[in-house]
Amino acid sequence: MNIVILAAGQGKRMHSNLPKVLHPIAGKALAQHVIDTARGLSPEKLVVVYGHGGDVVRATLAAPDIAWAEQAQQLGTGHAVAQALPHLGPAAQTLVLYGDVPLTTAATLKRLLQAGKDGLAILTVDLADPTGYGRIVRDGAGQVRCIVEQKDATEAEKAVREINTGIMVMLTARLADWMSRLKNDNAQGEYYLTDIVALAVAEGLPVRTAQPDGEWEVLGVNSKVQLAELERQHQRNLAGQLLVAGVRLADPERIDIRGELKHGRDVAIDVGCVFEGRVELADAVEVGPYCVLKNVKVGAGTRIAAFCHFEDAVIGPDGVLGPYARLRPGTELGPEVHVGNFVEIKKSVIGAQSKANHLAYIGDAEIGQRVNVGAGTITCNYDGANKFKTVIEDDVFIGSDTQLVAPVRVGRGATLGAGTTLTRDAPAGELTFSRPRQVTLSGWKRPQKAKQ
Ligand code: UD1
Ligand code: CA
C-alpha cells in the first residue's frame, strides 16, 4: 500500500513557534509516532504532506524512505492528498493518516485495510459529543452514503454520533480521478477529502467502516491541553503493558517512558521515575522514587534508591546505588558496586565490589576490584585544557578528602591517607600521604571586634 500522512496544518491553538506535528508525546514528535506506525505496515511508498514550518518539519523527520509533498496553501484535506498523488506508487491501496493523530495502533489500521480491500474504508467512532467532526451518513439499510462536515450538516445530520476520524483507505487506481472532481463549494470553501466517499458510493464501490479498540487511538492534538491528555493516555497504556508483563509499579499514573524500557522478572519501580532512550532492567532490579534513567543497562538484583540520575551507563548486577547518585556517560560498574549519595562518576570503569559511598567525583578513571573510595575523594582529571586518566588498582583504600591529580596511578593494595593530594604514582601495598605536620600555637587569641 501507499501511506499519505497529512501534516501541513499550522496548529494555531498550540500558541507555539514549533510546527504542531513536531510537538512531542513521550519525547517523540507527534508525526514521528505516525511515521513509525506507518513503517510497521511496510508501505511501498510513504509520503508526508507538509506546509507550515516546512523546513523544520522536513529536517526533523527526514528519513530515506519518506517522500515529501509540499502543500504551500492549506486548501483542505482533499487538496492535501492531491499534492501527494505524483509520489504514489502503483500499490492497490492508499491509506491516509493525520500527522497530529499519534496513537493509532497497527492492529486497528490492519482491520481498516482489510475492510477497504475492494473499495473504500473509513475509520469511525461513536462519540457522546460529535460536535466539530464530519458525520457518517448512512441509508436505511445501514450502508454509508457520504460524510457531511459539521458546518455543512443539517440538524438531522448533526444528531448523528458516528464520526469520521479522518483516517481512510481507498483504491489508488480511483484516487486521481476523484481528486480531479473535488469541488470547494461548501461552507468552508475547502476541497474536502471526505467528498470521495459519495463518489465511491455513486460508482457502486463497497464503502465500509472499521472501529479502533480505544477512542484515544483517533484523538488528534490541536492544543496543549489535548497534548497533555494524550501524553497521559499514552503513558497509562505503557504502564498497563508493564503491569501485565509483571513489573511492579507503585503507581501506574506516575511513570514516564520516553523510549523503550526492557525488563526481566520481578522488577519494581517506585513513583515519579522517567525512562528515556533505551533502558534495560534485568531481573529483580528495584528503582526507587524520582529517578531519571537514560540509555542505561542495569544488572540483575541491583537496587537504586531515590533521586538518582543515570545517563549512558552500564551497571552490573547486585549493585547498591543512591540515593542522589549521578552516573554520567561512559560509566561502567561491575558486580556489587556501591555508589552512594552525591557521588558523580563520568567515563570510568569500576571493578566488582568497589565502593564510593559519599561525596566524590570520579572522572576518566579506571578503578579495580574491592577498592574503597573515601568521602570527598576527587579525581582531578582536567587541567583546564586536557583530560587525564586516573588508575586505581585492586584492593586500594583511599582516605577521605583525597585529590588524585591525573595522570596518576595507585598500585594494588595501596592506602592513601586522608587529605592527600596525590601528584605522583603511589606504590603498591604502601601507605602514601601528603599532609602538613599538625601544629598548635599555645596562647593564641581570636581577634576581637574593634570598639566604636
Ligand atoms: C477533518 C475531516 C472531518 C473529520 C476530522 C477529524 C475533512 C474535510 N474533514 O476535519 O470529517 O471528522 O478531520 O479530525 O477532511 N491538513 C492538511 N492540509 C489541509 C488541511 C488539513 O495537511 O489543507 C491536515 C491537518 O494538518 C490535519 C488534518 O489534515 O492533520 C485534518 O485537518 P483539520 O483541519 O483538523 O480537519 P477538520 O477540518 O477538522
Ligand atoms: Ca481537526
Q: Ligand 1: which residue has its CA nearest to atom 32?
A: 77
Q: Given this model, what pLDDT does residue 10 score?
A: 80
| Claim to verify: residue 230 and residue 211 sit in the same structural domain | no
What is the pLDDT at residue 52? 79
Do 228 and 213 sit in the same domain of this protein? no
Active centre residues (catalytic): 358
Task: Compute the distance between CA of residue 18 and CA of residue 105 in angstroms, rounded to an integer.
Answer: 25
**Contact (CB, 8 A) for 30 and 38:** no
Residues 307 and 190 in one domain: no
Which atom of ligand 1 sits closest to the CA of residue 193? 15
Nearest alpha-carbon partner for 135 in 66, 192, 184, 63: 192
User: Measured between alpha carbons, how far is 26 from 253 in angstroms, rounded to an integer?
Assistant: 14
Centroid of ligand 1 to alpha carbon of 81 (angstroms): 11
Q: Identity (one letter) of the amino acid at 209?
A: T
Query: Which atom of ligand 1 sits closest to the CA of residue 99?
Result: 30
Rounded Cα gap, residues 274 and 260, in angstroms: 11
Cα–Cα distance for residue pair 95/101, rounded to 1 Å = 14
Calculate the dihedral angle through the C-alpha atoms of 286, 288, 291, 297, rounding to the nearest 10 degrees: -10
pTM: 0.93
Q: Where are the alpha helices (DSSP H) in 42-167?
A: 54-61, 77-84, 106-115, 155-158
Kindly give the interhelix angle for 172-181 and 77-84, rounded to the nearest 10 degrees: 130
Q: Where residue 250 sits, what CATH number does that domain have?
A: 2.160.10.10
Residue type, 200: A
Assigned domain for 185 exists = yes
CA of 231 to the centre of ligand 1 (A): 21
Q: Do 162 and 68 reside in the same domain of the chain?
A: yes
DSSP assigned state of 53? B
Residue 296: name the closest of 312, 274, 275 by CA.
312
Give the distance from CA 314 to its chain's centroid. Answer: 20
Pocket test for ligand 1, best of 33, 77, 182, 222 (most atoms within 8 A of CB): 77
**pLDDT tens, per residue, the chain with 452 residues:** 999 999 998 889 999 999 999 999 999 999 999 999 999 999 999 999 999 778 999 999 999 999 999 999 999 999 999 999 999 999 999 999 999 999 999 999 999 999 999 999 999 999 999 999 999 999 999 999 999 999 999 999 999 999 999 999 999 999 999 999 999 999 999 999 999 999 999 999 999 999 999 999 999 999 999 999 999 999 999 999 999 999 999 999 999 999 999 999 999 999 999 999 999 999 999 999 999 999 999 999 999 999 999 999 999 999 999 999 999 999 999 999 999 999 999 999 999 999 999 999 999 999 999 999 999 999 999 999 999 999 999 999 999 999 999 999 999 999 999 999 999 999 999 999 999 999 999 999 999 999 88
Q: Does residue 414 form part of some domain?
A: yes
Residue by residue, DSSP assigns 183-201 as ---STT----GGGHHHHHH
Domain membership of residue 184 as a residue range: 2-218
Q: In residues, how long is the chain?
A: 452
Domain count for the chain = 2
Give the helix/strand (H/E) hosting 392: strand 390-392
Cα separations in angstroms, 129 against 125, 126, 159, 160, 227: 11, 9, 10, 10, 19
- pLDDT at position 53 is 79
Tell me: do 246 and 382 sit in the same domain: yes
The CATH number covering residue 136 comes to: 3.90.550.10
Report residue 165 CA to chain centroid gap: 25
Assigned domain for 94 exists: yes
Paired strand residues for 345: 327, 362
Is residue 318 in some structural domain? yes
Same domain, 25 and 156: yes
CA of 381 to the centre of ligand 1 (A): 57
Q: Which ligand is nearest to the CA of 9?
A: 1
Query: What are φ and ψ of residue 124, in 5° steps?
Result: -125, 160
Check if 369 has its Cβ closer than 6 Å to any atom of ligand 1: no
At 9 the pLDDT is: 85
Distance 11 CA to ligand 2 centre (A): 9
Residue of 214, 219, 175, 213 lying closest to 193 (CA atoms): 175
Alpha helices in 74-195 (DSSP H): 77-84, 106-115, 155-158, 172-181
133 lines ligand 1 (CB under 6 A): yes
250, 185: one domain: no
Is 450 a domain residue? no
The amino acid at residue 107 is A
Query: Residue 440 falls within a domain, yes or no?
Result: no
Angle, helix 30-40 to helix 106-115, in steps of 10 degrees: 60
For the CA atoms of 96, 102, 103, 106, the dihedral, rounded to the nearest 10 degrees, stands at 40
Which residue carries 549521578 as its cell?
326
Whether residue 153 sits in one domain with residue 11 = yes
